[in-house]
A and B are shown apart, each in its own frame.
Chain A
Amino acid sequence: MSEQIEQAIARKYDAGFISDIESDTFPVGLDEDVVRRISAMKNEPEWMLEWRLQAFRSWQKMKEPKWAHLGYTEIDYQSISYYSAPKSMKDKPKSLDEVDPELLRTYEKLGIPLHEQEMLAGVAVDAVFDSVSVVTTFRAKLEEAGVIFCPISEAIQKYPELVKKYIGSVVPRTDNFFAALNSAVFTDGSFVYIPKGVRCPMELSTYFRINELNTGQFERTLIIAEEGSYVSYLEGCTAPQRDENQLHAAVVELVALDDSEIKYSTVQNWYPGDENGKGGIYNFVTKRGVAEKNAKISWTQVETGSAITWKYPSCILRGDNSVGEFYSVALTRGRQQADTGTKMIHLGKNTTSTIISKGISAGNSSNAYRGLVKMGPNADGARNFTECDSLLIGDKCAAHTFPYIESSNPSAIVEHEATTSKVSDEQLFLCQQRGLDTEKAVSMIVNGFCKEVFKELPMEFAVEAGKLLEISLEGSVG
């Protein structure tokens, strides 16, 4: 039976095409001069350059962290190009009609028809291709509501006060090795600002894609929710199939002021490498939010791609009664490795957090959950509930759970539950006896396992995530 499953999950990567787009790409290598040139390409003000340079100098003194449950060959930071832009971006398009049709076709292949999104879905999309933001749809409607949704490079020009105030306020430049690198060389990303009391009239969404060979993608996202506001934001990611590893080191900062709510969802499907572990994206991401009084931050992630995932979306629950949530599905197959989880830092009184993590391992992959729940001395009455479930498909894969609990407040309550299960022969047999093939059966069982997390995704994306899992488990059977 397990052989059948093995075959069923050995599939090809659907988003693995390479787009033939002319681009301006920096030669490989990283030094102060490269940082200066990135800043110059973006026409940045002096303070931004200075900020980058300080980050770069700190990064040079830092060491790559090695504590994660991951094994990979040393990354040579001098063999990566730190900037790549499609040529036609030089004269930035003002509307979709002016966008390079080849680029738009790329998005269509990815299942993101921008035109359609613009007209039908009511989802505002910011698409980041390699290093630059291509187009932001739906801006007019958002502007009416006072919502700012634009590439961060543009925000640096147009809203310098906001950017200056909040950039690095949640993830400091020197927070960790990858965050420092990102701070020095970030090329684009999204900026969102929701004014006081405004409920953002639509889902905001960004798609990231790495296309060029040997380029790294370092995007930076900053979301600010003013008092009493609400926003739901989704990011999706893909990359072409290449034999070389590509680096992705993003930083996401969420600022949730009093009584606001930010819902941040990710569907990550970077290229995972082939079955022997050749190629694939190295995904080292720092995501963190600060929740002030009565604010709520909810992270939902569906991670199916990348050769290596190192990612811990976290909540600093600073304000009293603030709420943090983390819902995660991480699927690894082939030789993929994931070390992912969350940190819930309870500082305020009566803060609550919920962690639901679903890890699915297949093939020869390794899937680790790493979570920290920290109860500060003032976190009276704080509560955390953690549920950590692993599902194994086949018998060559591994699942690990590393829960860390640090409590300095005796009134705080931390609950942790963990289970490990297998897709059983009985379940598969039942499905097959009802006429379903092995692939369909496995994907159905896996989808059922993930239900608690999928129901947290915005409706249209929950369907997408289900399909993505199905594709991820698809293979040569039938």
Chain B
Amino acid sequence: MLTIKDLHASVEDKVILKGLNLTVKPGEVHAIMGPNGAGKSTLGYVLSGRDGYEVDSGKIEFDGRDMLGMEVDERAQAGLFLAFQYPVEIPGVSNMEFMKESVNAVRKERGEDPMTAAEFLKVAKAACQQVNLPLEFLKRGVNEGFSGGEKKRNEIMQMILLEPKLCILDESDSGLDIDALKVVANGVNSQRDGKRSFIVVTHYQRLLDFIEPDFVHILADGKIVKSGGPELAKEVEASGYAWLGEHQEASA
């Protein structure tokens, strides 16, 4: 599904990713943890091709395609989805309108007919209910005046509607109350069909109680410094990242 090889990337001439390797197979869930400023969000942006995030060297292959030459929208149409850590507002553009356009852009790429307004309304309502947002949220401006938790649920709703191949969730759990956390987790679990893959960026073990990962990676100072199973997340929860210092010295 996704192969990242020795990825070096920088933002405004500041080197952030320093030789990152990661392989994600179809159907797998990978959790990425790591200290603030380690480069987790940067990884999501680099994978989605955001302007200003320069790949200095390395390779990214997604679904058999070299991603480096592809535009942001092309990658999205190819099935890459990023749930934002801080979703932005687009005033005046209704959620409904926005998602219908998005879904149809992706369908077009897949060679499918665009959905009619009526067809789309039906799936949108279902997705909205699934993330436990009142239906009026479909009419409201994209993230306009949404609470932090509502924004996160809105991201999951978009993910459900777009049916991507690979979902990157950047701290979709932070700022959520316990019920909302379950909603997000259930949203993700409902989309686990054995083929769709997930990269879940989180600071807390608690999300991983609900979304059980196949692998857990620790990203620090621009690379994956340790990988393991679900137990690694529990270690981090118990002892934090103090041990990283030693590790880095050891690997230096």
A residues neighboring B (CB under 8 Å)? 1, 4, 424-427, 429-438, 440, 444-445, 447-452
Contacts and interface: CB of A to CB of B under 8 A. Distances in A.
A445 B93 contact: yes
Nearest to B87: A430
Most chain A CB inside 10 Å of its own CB: which residue of B50, B92, B99, B141:
B92
Given A430-B88, A448-B91, A448-B93, A435 B51 contact: no
Contacts of A452: 92
A433 B72 contact: yes
A435 B162 contact: yes
B73 A449 contact: no
Contacts of A437: 73, 105
In the complex, which range does the number of interface residues on chain B fall in?
20 to 34
Contacts of B82: 433
Given A427-B88, A448-B90, A432 B141 contact: no
B93 to A, nearest CB: 4
B101 interface: yes
A449 B91 contact: yes
14 contacts: A1-B51, A427-B90, A429-B50, A430-B84, A430-B90, A432-B71, A433-B50, A433-B72, A435-B76, A436-B101, A437-B73, A444-B101, A448-B142, A452-B92
A434 B158 contact: yes
Most chain B CB inside 10 Å of its own CB: which residue of A430, A434, A449:
A434
A382 B97 CA distance: 39
Interface string B98-134: 1101100110010000000000000000000000000
B77 interface: yes
Contact of A435 (B50, B73, B141, B142): B73
A448 B141 contact: yes
A426 B151 CA distance: 15
Nearest to B48: A433
Nearest to A1: B51
B92 A450 contact: yes
A440 B105 contact: yes
Most chain A CB inside 10 Å of its own CB: which residue of B87, B105, B109:
B105
Contacts of A451: 92-93
Given A437-B73, A444-B101, A431 B92 contact: no
B84 A425 contact: no
Contacts of A427: 88-90
B65 to A, nearest CB: 16
A437 B88 CA distance: 18
Contact of B92 (A4, A426, A440, A449): A449
B90 A431 contact: yes
Contacts of B76: 432-435
A444 B77 contact: no
Contacts of B98: 431, 434, 444
A393 to B, nearest CB: 14
Contact of A445 (B77, B84, B90): B90
